[in-house]
Amino acid sequence: MGLEPARKARESGSVNARAVIAIGLGAALTACALPSNPWFLAALHPRLLVANAQRVPILAELKVDFGQPVDPQVVKVRITPAATTVSRWAGNQLFVAPVGHWATATDYAIRIAAFQDHRHNVQIKGWQASFRTQPALTAALFLDGHPVTGQAVVGGSASILTVAFPLAMQPAAVQLTVDGKPLGASAMGWQADRQRISLPLDGFAPGSTVRLSVDEGRSDQGDLLTAASSVTITTAVLEPSNPTSGVASGFVAPHPLQIVVENSGPARPQVGLQGADMVFEYISEYSITRMTAVYFNTVPPLIGPVRSCRMVNIPLTFAFGAITMCSGASDGTLGQLWHQHVPVVINDYDRGGHFFRSSARLAPHNLYTSSDRALRLRTEMPGIVGAALLVDPAHDDLALGEPAGAPQVPLHAVSYRYDDGRKLYLRFDHGSPFLDAATRGQLAVKTVVVVHVPFRDAGWVEDTNGGAHSIIYDLAGQGPAELYSDGRLIKATWHMSQGVPIYFTDASGRFIHLNAGLTWIHLVGNGQSH
């Protein structure tokens, strides 16, 4: 044929080949208009695009990619099981999001009925895909190792709240709030496994109530927190108990009983003080002290002599959520007791037989109460406002402060001598051993605290015989204190307010856990001389 005829033949063949291809393509496009053509159906096949169709997060927005433009007006989406959703389009992709969230651990099907491309040239009879949602993911809360929900009370601010997750979490995605305010990441004590957060509660002052909530979170696998977990915690004051009062672990404190006991010469020896959990001593008048004994649980068989209330009994009663017993009060003090609705039982107005007189002494130094008379007040006086108070059972001694000599309280004419063998302070009043008529022994104290407080003249006469004025000790707030226990001294700060009984913190602001045993608190006015 030669080169030229051959070239012409090849060119002619190429033209024919191109024509065949063009015809074939045209035929294919024509055939594509028929729904049964498999070539075009493959080009218009939707795909469900999710990271893991077997573990879809509950808030996930589903993405369906159609591969080419379709007519949104004819795309109808149905979710099974039924779920309320909202849809939006972005190019060739349809996004479907739940209103609220998907149900957890559920197998869903997403179905699209017959739809067409945007030119209405091609129709697909239907499409579906399936997915499964993530399992439930919640946080469990533990307080000092015990499960907690709803509300809880902790004592002494030394407790730890633990937030536990079933899966390793992404710390940056976990939100823990305190009273609705997000807690900084640095305050969350994440454990190495990233499944636990340890949150010490020592930053919350005793008497405070806070709501802690785990609101958001995401696991390493992408699972979202499916429900918030929260607890409302009240940090109560942990007061020491006397082992004689029989306080056990888990003890739920009833309203404390506060009994006013005389300390003039004719009243000694008193009875029932050694069995108190706590005693407050203060100037009554003429440099004579008076005591208010506090009983958290049991009450000794006999307590007294009982004498009249002073103004100091008002803040003491309200701070402890207590019931106070006394013989009477001056007109000014009595008016304040009534005006402030103090839960008090006064012998002068008592009709319930809560006191009795002893023939062994002359009045007014012979008024007493007994355990049965006192204890029934807890049921006879309902509706009393309680306090942020927990009572600590007996426990091993804690080393507090530095070695120091026994305390001396000149204003109260009281001194102590430390008995190293018993680890107790023996009390002396005006240089003489201070005895308890019930034990027939010298009163022994585990912890002695000297509390320095502001004071002022109340403005009315307390004792009409000599004209001594009533004293107001300002116990709402805080101030310096010296705390003696086991032959050691710690410089402390006292705190007290309505509904929050007295407690002590060290120089760094940490709550001081007191030793078990009788705690004797001397209230000393700043600059007070008598």
pLDDT of res. 120: 67
Residue 226 domain-assigned?
yes
Q: Is 345 exposed, middle or buried (0-12, 13-18, 19+ CB in 10 A)?
A: buried
The last residue of one of the domains, among 236, 256, 278, is 236
pLDDT of res. 123: 74
pLDDT of res. 479: 98
Average pLDDT of the residues in 328-349: 96
Average pLDDT of the residues in 472-497: 98
pLDDT of res. 81: 98
CA distance between the termini of the chain: 142
| 270 and 230 housed in the same domain | no
| 221 and 261 housed in the same domain | no
pLDDT of res. 70: 86
Tokens of 131: 């997915």
Rounded CA-CA distance 3/70 in Å is 53
pLDDT in tens, 169-181: 999 999 999 999 9
Rounded CA-CA distance 354/270 in Å is 18
Residue 457 domain-assigned?
yes
Residue 19 domain-assigned?
no
Q: Is 3 exposed, middle or buried (0-12, 13-18, 19+ CB in 10 A)?
A: exposed
Place 337 in a pLDDT band, splitting at 50, 70 and 90.
very high
pLDDT of res. 27: 30
Which domain does 101 fall in, by range?
47-132
The last residue of one of the domains, among 132, 166, 184, is 132
Place 345 in a pLDDT band, splitting at 50, 70 and 90.
very high
Q: Reply yes or no on whether the pLDDT at 31 is more than 60.
A: no
Nearest Cα to Cα of residue 226 among 214, 241, 210: 214
pLDDT of res. 520: 99
| 163 and 195 housed in the same domain | yes
* Cβ count within 10 A of residue 363: 10
Q: Reply yes or no on whether the pLDDT at 4 is more than 80.
A: no
Whether this model's pTM surpasses 0.95: no
Rounded CA-CA distance 19/32 in Å is 20
Rounded CA-CA distance 240/267 in Å is 27
Pairing of strands 367-370, 302-303: antiparallel
Residue 12 domain-assigned?
no
Tokens of 10: 């090849």
Residue 23 domain-assigned?
no
- The two counts, helices (H) then strands (E), for the chain are 6, 41
| 253 and 125 housed in the same domain | no
pLDDT in tens, 192-230: 999 999 999 888 888 889 999 999 999 999 999 999 999
Q: Is 93 exposed, middle or buried (0-12, 13-18, 19+ CB in 10 A)?
A: middle
| 222 and 246 housed in the same domain | no
| 245 and 272 housed in the same domain | yes
| 335 and 365 housed in the same domain | yes
Q: Reply yes or no on whether the pLDDT at 492 is more than 70.
A: yes
pLDDT in tens, 270-312: 999 999 999 999 999 989 999 999 999 999 999 999 999 999 9
Using left for φ > 0, alpha for ψ between -120 and 50, and beta otherwise, residue 287 falls in left
- Segment among 13-27, 63-77, 255-269, 515-529 with least mean pLDDT: 13-27
| 247 and 225 housed in the same domain | no
CA dihedral 502, 320, 327, 369 (to 10 degrees): -110
| 503 and 377 housed in the same domain | yes
pLDDT > 90 fraction of the chain, expressed in percent and rounded: 77
Residue 99 domain-assigned?
yes
C-alpha dist (Å) from residue 458 to 268, 468, 473: 28, 11, 9
- Segment among 157-161, 368-372, 378-382, 419-423 with least mean pLDDT: 157-161
pLDDT of res. 43: 57
Domains contained in the chain, number: 3
Residue 16 domain-assigned?
no
| 229 and 245 housed in the same domain | no
Q: CA angle at residue 329 from 526 to 365, to 5 degrees?
A: 95
Pairing of strands 444-445, 77-80: unpaired
Residue 206 domain-assigned?
yes
Q: Considering only the C-alpha atoms of the chain, give the largest distance between any 2 of them, rounded to a whole number of Å.
A: 155
- What are 163's strand-pairing partners? 141, 197
| 64 and 90 housed in the same domain | yes
The last residue of one of the domains, among 218, 236, 254, is 236
| 441 and 516 housed in the same domain | yes
**Is 422 within 8 Å of 428 (Cβ atoms)?**
no
Q: Reply yes or no on whether the pLDDT at 488 is more than 70.
A: yes
What CATH number is given to the structural domain containing 123? 2.60.40.1220
| 52 compared with 464, residue with greater pLDDT | 52
Q: What's the chain's average pLDDT?
A: 90
